[in-house]
Amino acid sequence: MTKMNRISALFSKAKEPILNVYTTAGYPHFEDTMTVLTALQEGGVDIIEIGMPYSDPVADGETIQQSNQASLDQGMSVAHLFTQLKDLRQTITVPVLLMGYINPVLQYGVEAFCAKCAAIGIDGLILPDLPMAEYEREYKAIFEAHGLFNIFLITPQTTDERIRHIDSVSKGFIYMVSSASTTGAKTGISSDQETYFERIASMNLQNPRLIGFGISDHSSFMKASKNASGAIIGSAFVKLIGQATDLRAEIVDFVQSIKGKK
């Protein structure tokens, strides 16, 4: 193996809970993508997940849907996003994931898409509507040839047997959806959810886990991190940047407050 994937490197050395923040590309304004990424890093984020906007994001709630549409309305596309990210690694050192739906990737061409990701310095992909069986059959070899980790989701309804299988094909981390819901539908962590977190923690999976959906502040972030390596924030962040008047300052402040550094 030549160079360790940035995600693996992060998890192997992290001592504090890992914060992964999702942001929609080209939001709130078309040219804001790199500004948002830079501010996230400045605030101390550990992983950045960039959402590639899609017209029909079925796993997402209202906040992320609207940010996707607003970005598309300003002309965002996969090709434009790659252009905006061409110098990514001149400033951004944290691991970066692209999150999106499978259709725009198919239209770009899976091979070409992965090659472009590798050239830019993307570390992994989250494609919620790409099922595991399809991934193993048609995509795994291409992703791996370009050093891209495919991040799988598990939910409270996923059976132990399937979790074991997902663990065996995963690299980097497993994305643990905190409840049966779309993004941004619920906030806070209930005791039922904590029981679920503990159940998964006791399975001793080979991959670390990040918990997402319903994480919006320092308290829910810390609660989730008790039974996982960290957590993911999406809708709460997208809501913030949609209303921000001083984008950079408010992002830095948000990240620091989530991590309890303020």
Partner 1 sequence: MSFQVDEQGYYGNFGGAFIPEMLYPNVEELRSRYLDIIADPVFQAEYDALLKDFVGRPTPLFKAERLSAKYNTKIYLKREDLCHTGAHKVNNTVGQILVAKRLGKNKIVAETGAGQHGVATATVCALMGMECIVYMGAIDIERQAPNVARMRMLGAQVVAAKSGSQTLKDATNEAMRHWINHPVDTHYIIGSVVGPHPYPDMVARFQSIISAEIRTQLQEKEGRDYPDYVIACVGGGSNAAGAFYHFLDEPRTALIAAEAAGKGVNSGHSAATTFLGKSGVLHGSKSLLMQTEDGQVIEPYSISAGLDYPGIGPMHAHLFESGRGKFYGITDEEALVAAVECSQLEGIIPALETAHALAVFEKLQAKPNEIVVVNLSGRGDKDLATYQNRLKLND
Which residue among the candidates 60, 62, 167, 246 is catalytic per the annotation?
Answer: 60
Q: How far is the CB of 248 from partner 1 (least distance, A)?
A: 29
Q: What's the min distance (Å) between Cβ of 19 and partner 1?
A: 22
Q: Say if residues 125 and 104 touch (Cβ distance below 8 Å).
A: no
Nearer to partner 1, 197 or 254 (CB): 197
Nearer to partner 1, 44 or 242 (CB): 242
By C-beta, is 154 or 200 nearer to partner 1? 154
Find the shortest distance in angstroms from Cβ 31 to partner 1.
18
Q: Is there a catalytic annotation at residue 192? A: no
Strands 153-154 and 149-150: unpaired
Say if CB 61 and CB 235 are below 8 A apart: yes
Strand residue runs (E) in 66-166: 96-99, 124-126, 149-150, 153-154
Please name the helix (run of DSSP H) or strand (run of DSSP E) that holds residue 176, with its range, or none.
strand 174-177
Query: Does the annotation count 32 as an active-site position?
Result: no
Q: Which residues bind partner 1 (CB under 8 A)?
A: 54-59, 61-62, 65-66, 69, 72, 77-79, 101-108, 128-131, 133-134, 152-155, 157-159, 162, 177, 180-182, 185
Find the shortest distance in angstroms from Cβ 84 to partner 1.
Answer: 14
Distance CA 101, CA 58 (A): 9
Residues 6+ apart with CB under 8 A from 137: none
Report the residue number, 77 or 256, with the smaller CB distance to partner 1.
77
C-alpha 69/C-alpha 115 separation (Å) is 27
Minimal distance, residue 60 CB to partner 1, in Å: 8
Which one, 105 or 258, has the nearer CB to partner 1? 105
Give me the catalytic one of 16, 31, 32, 49: 49
Contacts of 249 (CB under 8 A, 6+ apart): none
User: Helices 218-225 and 247-258: crossing angle, nearest 10°?
Assistant: 40
> So which residues are the catalytic ones?
49, 60
